[in-house]
Amino acid sequence: MECGEQLVSISFCSRASRLRLLRSVMRDTADLAGLDDSQTEAMVLAVNEACMNIIQHGYRMAPEGQIDVSVFRQSGALVIRIRDYADKVDVEQVRSRELDDIRPGGLGVHLINCLMDECGFIEAPPGGGNLFQMKLFVRNQGEDNDISG
């Protein structure tokens, strides 16, 4: 399941309070990869939303779950893989609520789909759980921060 050069990998328990650390790591990773401000914020928000969904729906707010996030460089793109060890997700049930249903929450899936160039569940490695992959094609990269390595 090789994805290119690994830039970072972080594991943390399924507590919403840990998302602040994750956002900081994702911003630093985006800077290393040469993302512009818009793409950086898109990546940070998408990763945060995906992990919050795991905390809320996968682990049902239980603080002892584990979430692993890895970011790779891959020919002009960043690939983000997010793994949990919760019950297997029924992909057919993963959807955003209707946009005209005005109320807080429930738009994480919609946001992720809008912010990332590609995303979806892939087969998790042995040990169970779920593996969600997102891809963001890098634009506006400078010579100093060339994503190809």
pLDDT attached to residue 110: 86
pLDDT digits (tens, 9 = 90+) for 123-134: 988 988 999 999
Q: What is the mean pLDDT of the chain?
A: 87
- Domain range list for the chain: 5-145
pLDDT digits (tens, 9 = 90+) for 35-51: 999 999 999 999 999 99
pLDDT attached to residue 143: 39
Predicted TM-score (pTM) of this structure = 0.85
Asked if pLDDT for residue 100 goes beyond 60, the answer is no
Write the CB contacts of 94 (distance below 8 Å, at least 6 apart in sequence): 109, 121
For residue 108, what pLDDT band results from cuts at 50, 70 and 90? confident
Residue with tokens 């793994």: 83
Point out which residues pair with 121 in neighbouring strands: 132
State the Cα torsion 135-25-108-1 to the nearest 10°. Answer: 40
For residue 97, what pLDDT band results from cuts at 50, 70 and 90? very low
CA atoms within 13 A on the CB side of 80: 33
Domain 5-145 -> CATH class: alpha beta
Question: Taken in order 28, 33, 39, 44, is the CA torsion positive or negative?
Answer: negative
Write the CB contacts of 115 (distance below 8 Å, at least 6 apart in sequence): 42, 43, 45, 46
Structure tokens that stand for 14 in this block: 């399924």
- Please compute the mean of the pLDDT values over residues 80-92 and round it to a whole number: 90
pLDDT attached to residue 129: 95
